[in-house]
Chains A and B, each alone.
Chain A
């Protein structure tokens, strides 16, 4: 029976983490945007405005849940839950440290990729359920964008998988450090199996994965509907896109899903390309830095730091670049990213055959 209790505890823990991260993420986003735009951001509530998002969520929970008279009630209420659950279920297969993964399944990466695609359905459901022109336009834009960008993202992921030869996220993570069972070569010629550190990360094992990583990162911005790919909620054209009609708790769920999605896609990027929970410090003769900084606790710290750094880059990009037009968006996806991703896949095959 303890078995099941543990499962439930892990699920609750992941939910708590997602909620906590959304709170922290909104605060960070406001501070980062304020810094970039030379403002101060929240300052009044708590020291440096740290309690601002807590106050926001308290207000949001108390608000009335308004359902538009002409809306499809069931679809309208269920959509935010589906959007969030799709992202939340993805966390089930993510590795946090050596030997620490909620569910070590053989096809973990494929599972995460599939679960994320359910989000599209939730967004379409929200758009249709609201019975509002702006909502439905936003939902359709969002779905078109997510489906298109799944292709370059998928091929970038495949080129990493071809190097790793596994779909299990924990196996892919283990391969990129001193715990690896197989030989690791830095750039294909220098053996670094016992040196570890930054040298054995996937982007340095096969340098074309750096390109694949950039492709994946751009595509993941589009998949989480973040600027510069936020045409689904373009304020100047569509009010607020697919979540125009949402208020109170359902709106909170949409927001929770957006921030969890940011964390999830960054975490997948870290696991596939940036060494997962492996330390960036290599072993240097007597200084066994990699040996000292590889265990369960350090693993959690490293993966959290790397993922948060990527989330930080996402915020930085959002407040720096202007929004793309629809045709520019599709041009970038189909004419630049997709051919490049195909090329990466080809190079991966050659690399695996002759250089590893």
Chain B
């Protein structure tokens, strides 16, 4: 087995098991920190898929931003609420879990269906790309490509997202402002 394959299996295993721990653990804070391990393993998988920009962006946004935000919300909320959450009755098989089980099974079925019917090893468009030399090699820089595409082909979605973020910012500023005496 090549080094890349070994790394892939190691990181995939880490991602799966840490993800299971996140979902199953009773200790909420620990599961948040375990989520960090999951994210790192996923970032490693992205790097193997030659998407190093995505890998690092994931670390910046999820680890540096979202995880810290979750922890903040966690630490600022009262202990009683958290204990109520932690002491939920939790049996392995219960009716309240039915929707999530259904959803997971359906999702798995869709993925399996796509996997068996697409024939990922011999798609026509990938073969064409290899023949015409339109491929990105491991040592090439991907950022220019991403930048050019964001500013040309995907300009409208890009701008729409930035308006959405601006709206969120305005909303947050409005919520946190002191009420003026009428």
Residues of A within 8 A of B (CB): 72, 74-75, 105-107, 110-111, 113-115, 117-118, 120-121, 124-125, 128, 136, 140, 143, 147, 150, 167-168
Interface size on B, residues (CB 8 A): 23
Given A72-B30, A115-B59, A140-B75, A121 and B53 contact (CB-CB distance below 8 Å): no
Q: Report whether B72 and A106 are in contact in the complex, using a CB–CB cutoff of 8 Å.
A: no
Q: Report whether A75 and B30 are in contact in the complex, using a CB–CB cutoff of 8 Å.
A: yes
B63 within 8 A of A: yes
| A128–B29 alpha-carbon span in the complex (Å) | 9
| A120–B67 alpha-carbon span in the complex (Å) | 10
**The one of A105, A113, A124, A168 that contacts B71, using a Cβ cutoff of 8 Å:** A124
Given A106-B141, A106-B143, A124-B68, A114 and B75 contact (CB-CB distance below 8 Å): no
Q: Report whether A120 and B64 are in contact in the complex, using a CB–CB cutoff of 8 Å.
A: yes
Given A74-B30, A75-B33, A124-B68, A113 and B60 contact (CB-CB distance below 8 Å): yes
A-B complex: 7 closest residue pairs judged by Cβ atoms: A117-B64, A106-B141, A114-B59, A114-B60, A114-B56, A124-B71, A110-B56
Q: Report whether A118 and B64 are in contact in the complex, using a CB–CB cutoff of 8 Å.
A: yes
Residue of B whose beta carbon sits closest to that of A136: B75
Q: Report whether A143 and B64 are in contact in the complex, using a CB–CB cutoff of 8 Å.
A: no
Residue of B whose beta carbon sits closest to that of A119: B64
Scoring B36, B60, B63, B142 by chain A CB atoms within 10 A of each residue's CB, the highest score goes to: B60
Q: Report whether A147 and B29 are in contact in the complex, using a CB–CB cutoff of 8 Å.
A: no
**The one of A113, A125, A147 that contacts B33, using a Cβ cutoff of 8 Å:** A125
A113 / chain B contacts, CB cutoff of 8 Å: 60
Q: Report whether B36 and A121 are in contact in the complex, using a CB–CB cutoff of 8 Å.
A: yes
Query: Least Cβ distance of A182 to chain B in Å?
Result: 16
Q: Report whether B33 and A107 are in contact in the complex, using a CB–CB cutoff of 8 Å.
A: no
Q: Report whether B33 and A140 are in contact in the complex, using a CB–CB cutoff of 8 Å.
A: no
Q: Report whether A167 and B143 are in contact in the complex, using a CB–CB cutoff of 8 Å.
A: yes
A110 / chain B contacts, CB cutoff of 8 Å: 53, 56, 60
Given A121-B63, A121-B67, A107 and B56 contact (CB-CB distance below 8 Å): yes
Q: Report whether A140 and B72 are in contact in the complex, using a CB–CB cutoff of 8 Å.
A: yes
| A63–B63 alpha-carbon span in the complex (Å) | 33
B36 / chain A contacts, CB cutoff of 8 Å: 121
Residue of B whose beta carbon sits closest to that of A117: B64
| A74–B36 alpha-carbon span in the complex (Å) | 15
A115 / chain B contacts, CB cutoff of 8 Å: 59
